[in-house]
A and B are shown apart, each in its own frame.
Chain A
């Protein structure tokens, strides 16, 4: 067996002083804990509370001395016998958890009635506009990244904004002028236009909100849901790197297809189990060292039942409307369900990420009342109580003058007569007061362009969340001796030799969601061990509604780039227009700089069923051709069980260099599904579905919430109970749409041959608008089987 003799190296400094006599150390970091931590067992404690603790450690050969922890010294526990003490250290992110906001720009003491002590009134804390005053985004809003940067700066936490990412949505506005997004300071709130104040006698100062708690609220909802390939799905999570820097990166859904590489050595994070003597290479020997010498010491992986297949995310309350979105899909164990009472199986998300900070209902911003917003700006120069000229930042689009604006700090309402490049000519209010620089000015409610990408929507959050619950949850931990630099958010491959799944039944990529790094001393000798923790999505069990091919997640951890060569790839088989069949051979040619490609080059295959918009992925491998070497590749056509004969299909091949970078593409090559062979295939359907309207009928006057109904049949009989009806209203006058869901219900003969629903409506429909209604019959897999309409009418 291959033997690796390693020199273990470690250096611990506390407050800049080296710690020499220690017996063991353990560094823990995980996504589900607030911050990293370290425990050092030593003969004596050194340093003081909050001293900086830096631990560098590693092995030679290996990464050598690499920073594994950078945090602060805290608690020390002393033991009598055997003598020793444990020095507890916290990571940088813990300091954000301990930093409570006390800032309120307009906080001021108010004498309490009866002389029971001073009360404090203000705006309640810091708004997004206070945190990021010069964001440059619409209405003073800011992205999660910008807000985090400002908050971490106040908390004096090292934040690596350069390698962090976010959804690019901006937060901090809305009907309530963004008061919801307040970083609470514990101060009372003075009543202001449109905002209820704190009762005076309850306006004593309380503890503020912690920086981490405030940012976690953004992390809970800041999501992206883009179906590719490549797909980009996930929430943006806050965590800490071994270097002590805090980052925000995307994690969610299924792990990406690209295995991360060690930022120090460039090695792939591939961990191979040495589980079975039966897994051998062609010569009958063990795999050594390529494609993988077993390097997992111990491991435990579990595969769990999906959490659910339906997520209802509730957003902000608009007073007369509750913003919400319900995403649902299905898996092998949880069929898509309707809200019809006699369907009992409803697997709802136990912990949907609902939040009042979610502004919009759908990605397209379909909730009309929310288009009303108040512009906001900051005064840029002082003005006395008699000045009739006011300088205001022009970032926010203000309405055309004349309009009325409110000075938030004083409550004075001024009339803006004209606006010349940020200088307003104003008529003062009834009780004019001095206006200082950086006072907040708010304009009247106006209609905004709903296409602006600001605020989060329930649809994106719900669909992203669905990818976290509607999956075979793969979790576990392994134990390795390798000293690679493991970070949360990396994609690691856990496999048996040759990429097979063996004793661990795992031959796939998993998210790294935590790691314990430890060096213990046993019998005077060091023991370096790492215990990374994992989370994955198993096989792609998401249903037709989402339909990603399992290639989701982060790509930021691919540290290698290789674009300095000229790469080519082509598809020889199948040819354009060929018949696609399951497991058919796919092959072609490839090259790097006109010659063979290096070992480690891979080919990713993406099959798209254009009929159903579903995808499947697979891999191909280069193989040697005499005398040129690795200039050809082959693989099997990836397939899906829901492909039916006659489906329009296309296959694309992506060439990845050994570093994992996508360097070339071939195709798409189009074809038609020839047969659906294989035990997993679905036989071609010959079912006949139909749907029609009873009401409304052509020419009707349509009103909000009116009943819409008709008949629905499968092969002339009742439809299955999991069928649903999608009702689509189109306002042909404005070009806007609205949708709602109808359901089959038992007719007189107790069979599901009729359906009903409520006409979807929009707040911006005007009387007389030209409307049309369409009903689509969806099967249990949410595929459209039949359509009725459009029925035309006019708005009441």
Chain B
């Protein structure tokens, strides 16, 4: 039996029971149904070319999940029209079919009635635009650097431009 390495904010079961994450399908977050967790301090929210990214190191507990995550990788080009502060169109170009999927993140959401942050699953539509392998640790847990592009205010058609 192994435990998650110390020093990281790896998830632990509620009663602090040791477990082997390499064999248990573990992780509080999912992308297209594949579970993972963020390493401590991750993810960073970055706004680039008018689009929001969640970037950071993820922990994937199973090799086949890591393979799936690499399969989800779909590079995209993101460009914003003109001055990004002025509310222009943001174009996300990609090859092939729709690369986006549901990204569920466990986030601390402040609960005003309890006056305490509650861990809450929040869903986004996102594209895994980049992932690169970082490290496979002794216990079989995988670390990878991931870049999720968050799709917000997505239009289904080109907005009209009237003279």
Contacts and interface: CB of A to CB of B under 8 A. Distances in A.
Nearest to A528: B93
Contact of B95 (A270, A295, A525): A525
A300 interface: no
Contact of B81 (A285, A291, A481): A481
B93 A294 contact: no
Given A7-B94, A276-B86, A527 B161 contact: no
Contact of A5 (B82, B95, B154): B154
Contacts, number: 166
Contacts of A271: 161
A76 B72 CA distance: 37
B71 interface: no
Given A4-B89, A4-B90, A7-B98, A296 B82 contact: yes
Nearest to A271: B161
A493 B86 CA distance: 19
A297 interface: yes
What DSSP secondary structure best describes chain A's contact surface? loop
A754 B82 CA distance: 61
A274 B96 CA distance: 29
A273 B87 CA distance: 10
B151 interface: yes
A7 B95 contact: yes
B157 interface: yes
Most buried by A among B51, B97, B157, B158: B158
Interface in A270-306: 270-277, 279, 285-298
Interface in B110-156: 127, 129, 151-156
B89 A294 contact: yes
A304 to B, nearest CB: 24
A287 B160 CA distance: 12
A426 B83 CA distance: 82
Interface string A1-19: 1111111100000000000
B100 interface: yes
Interface residues of A, number: 55
A62 interface: yes
Interface residues of B, number: 41
Contact of B77 (A268, A298, A527, A602): A527
Contacts of B155: 2-4, 61, 289
A529 to B, nearest CB: 8
A2 B82 contact: no
A59 B94 CA distance: 9
A294 B81 CA distance: 6
Nearest to A519: B93
Contacts of A289: 155, 159-160
A751 to B, nearest CB: 53
Contacts of A660: 163
A429 interface: no
Contact of A482 (B88, B92, B156, B158): B158
A320 interface: no
A290 B162 contact: yes
Q: Which 10 pairs between the two chains have the least Cβ-Cβ distance?
A: A289-B159, A274-B82, A274-B88, A286-B87, A294-B88, A270-B161, A274-B86, A525-B75, A481-B91, A524-B75
11 contacts: A3-B152, A4-B158, A6-B91, A270-B161, A274-B82, A291-B161, A293-B159, A294-B82, A499-B163, A522-B77, A602-B163
Given A289-B155, A289-B159, 19 more contacts: A3-B50, A5-B92, A5-B100, A5-B154, A7-B95, A270-B161, A271-B161, A277-B83, A289-B160, A292-B162, A294-B83, A297-B79, A481-B91, A481-B93, A493-B163, A522-B77, A525-B77, A525-B94, A526-B94
